[in-house]
Amino acid sequence: MIGPKMALKIRQSKNYLRLVYFAPIVLIVCTVAILTSLSVRDTLRSLGDSYAESYSRIVLNVSMENKSALVAPQQCGFLQQVLRYEREILEMQIVSNNQIVCSSFGEVGTREIVDIETLGNESQIFQLAAMPMSKKDLSVAVINRRNLNGQEYYAVSLIDLDYLRASLGYRTDYRVSSSALFIGEDSAPYNTPRASGWFAYVAQTDIPQHQIQVIASNELIIEKTWFYSLAAIPGTLAVYIGFFFIRRHFIRNQGFHNEVKQAIRRKEFILHYQPQMDCNTGELSGVEALVRWMHPERGLIYPDVFIPVLEEFDLIDQLTDIVVERAISDFSSYSFSQPFHLGINFPPGYFVSSDKQRLLIEQAALLRERGIHLGLEITERQLLDSSAKSAIASLRQSGLEVLIDDFGTGQTSLAMLETTPIDYLKIDKCFVDSIGSQSATAPVLDAIISMAKGLDLNIITEGVEEQNQADYLVSRGVYIHQGYLYSKPVPFESLALPVK
């Protein structure tokens, strides 16, 4: 069972790893956004400046035509002939004494391009004026003044809006969603607000107070976003490949044993329990505690991966301390009416320490009060060490059960079994697998069972996975089974305990 502190540490480690892995994505997204904004801005600047240049050229050309017309303002026929094929000017009117005295259209109409009464003494002014066929469409009126022989003349020219649009090209450019001309406080289209931000640009023309505003279209923004997003893919891959190699180099330098040391210090190890079934009663008679490593990044790691490292670097006793502590903690609030076996695997040399012996004796006594019998599961090679053998005998006299794990795979002799006080033999799975087969180990199982009964030892068979194996063992008087036929190792909370 994972404790709250350990779960918190695992979550913190996972959150840190997520932060490390997602940080480049956030950085790249921000970079793409910035590059997109800069690129859109640069495109708008280029478009706006080109519009401003074309606009300035057209207005200055019209101003020159006005000045030419004012050289001889009375020659209306010549003016009409000159402007007949002029593309930039829709209409030019010559005004004197607040009256239109000539129009490039031929007949002098009553429609004024601008309000004649407002014409002042400036030599040149510019106004926004409505187009003849539409009051909503505004173009630019260029007004020039000349005094000729004491008489004031004004040349008022209305720039052809269609020609102006075609010359600038903003109406057909997909990159522009809208554009506007500002002359002082006036604007065309009428009441157009001044925009701001990354996706708007105001270009200054060569004419004072004349500005052209362009706003980026969604197509341009999407196009730039896709371009930089696709361009960022190689960079993103390079970043993560770099992360991969840096992290792998770091892990290699750090060493797997350092990870295990950190896991010991942080107590990242948890217990799963494999039930041991009593086939006489059909009830759970005990469990074997099996350690797992809940790695914050790799998930559940099995002991065959980390136990060799712990043994190599003399950390196995520290892991065993954690296992004993967690097992006792898990069963601390449970009591059983029938003897219940709790088996824990112990490494060689663990019992040499008198402090550890004393702790096990104390905890075993407390467990027995609640019907739990603590079992020391040891390997056959531990019986070859005289000091370990002596410590095991002492612990058994103090009420702990002794079990030889994986019996039949080590170097235990019959004489050693006769001289060593033990309670259980746990027959290895390889012998159980021989049931019903013609393998060379098939007769060995019956021999082990007969020997155990002759020595008055209890038997637990491991690796029982099929019903025919269970039936065969029961027929041989072996009733305590452990294996996937009954249950795989499960967390403590998943056990169906026969408690009081």
SS3 49: helix
Kindly tell me if the per-residue pLDDT of 4 is higher than 60: no
Kindly tell me if the per-residue pLDDT of 252 is higher than 60: no
Kindly tell me if the per-residue pLDDT of 152 is higher than 80: yes
pLDDT average, residue stretch 16-37:
79
pLDDT at 81: 86
Closest of 334, 401, 375, 305 to residue 1, by C-alpha: 334
HEC letters along 374-396: EEEEECHHHHHCHHHHHHHHHHH
pLDDT at 318: 92
Is residue 203 within 8 Å of residue 48, measured between CB atoms?
A: yes
> Of 107-111, 193-197, 447-451, where does mean pLDDT reach its minimum?
107-111
Kindly tell me if the per-residue pLDDT of 219 is higher than 90: yes
Kindly tell me if the per-residue pLDDT of 12 is higher than 60: no
pLDDT at 156: 94
Contact residues for 165 (Cβ-Cβ < 8 A; gap 6+)? 171
pLDDT at 379: 78
Q: For residue 405, what pLDDT band results from cuts at 50, 70 and 90?
A: confident
Structure-model confidence comparison of residues 215 and 310, the more confident one: 215
CATH topology of domain 35-219: Beta-Lactamase (3.30.450)
**Angle in degrees, CA 310, 311, 312, rounded to 5:** 90
Pairing of strands 283-295, 299-301: antiparallel
pLDDT at 43: 93
Q: For residue 2, what pLDDT band results from cuts at 50, 70 and 90?
A: very low
Closest of 62, 40, 45 to residue 212, by C-alpha: 45
Task: Pull the structure tokens for residue 267.
Answer: 């107590």
Kindly tell me if the per-residue pLDDT of 14 is higher than 50: yes
pLDDT average, residue stretch 111-120:
87
Q: For residue 410, what pLDDT band results from cuts at 50, 70 and 90?
A: low
Beta-carbon neighbour count of residue 39 at 10 Å?
17
Beta-carbon neighbour count of residue 282 at 10 Å?
7
pTM: 0.52
Burial class (CB in 10 A: 0-12, 13-18, 19+), 215: middle
Structure-model confidence comparison of residues 231 and 218, the more confident one: 218
pLDDT average, residue stretch 469-487:
94
Task: Pull the structure tokens for residue 285.
Answer: 């008679």
pLDDT average, residue stretch 358-383:
88
pLDDT at 381: 66
Overall CATH class of domain 260-494: alpha beta
pLDDT at 171: 79
pLDDT at 253: 46
Share of the chain above pLDDT 90, in %: 48
Contact residues for 441 (Cβ-Cβ < 8 A; gap 6+)? 430, 431, 434
Kindly tell me if the per-residue pLDDT of 249 is higher than 70: no
pLDDT at 296: 86
What is the per-residue pLDDT across 169-192, written as a single tens digit (0 to 9) for each? 877 889 999 999 999 999 999 889
pLDDT average, residue stretch 406-427:
73
Share of the chain above pLDDT 70, in %: 89
What is the per-residue pLDDT across 70-103, written as a single tens digit (0 to 9) for each? 999 888 888 888 888 888 999 999 999 888 989 8
Spell out the domain ranges in the chain. Answer: 35-219, 260-494
pLDDT at 1: 40
Beta-carbon neighbour count of residue 366 at 10 Å?
12
> Of 15-29, 61-75, 441-455, where does mean pLDDT reach its minimum?
15-29
E strand map for 226-306 = 269-278, 283-295, 299-301
Kindly tell me if the per-residue pLDDT of 166 is higher than 70: yes
Q: Average pLDDT over the chain, rounded to whole?
A: 86
H or E segment at 67?
helix 4-69
pLDDT at 6: 46
> Of 75-84, 244-253, 402-411, 483-492, where does mean pLDDT reach its minimum?
244-253
Closest of 118, 167, 142 to residue 65, by C-alpha: 142
What is the rounded CA–CA span in Å between residue 478 and residue 460?
7
Element counts in the chain: helices (H) and strands (E): 13, 19
pLDDT at 285: 94
H or E segment at 265?
helix 256-266
Widest Cα–Cα separation across the chain: 146
**Fold match flag (35-219 vs 260-494):** no
Q: For residue 388, what pLDDT band results from cuts at 50, 70 and 90?
A: confident
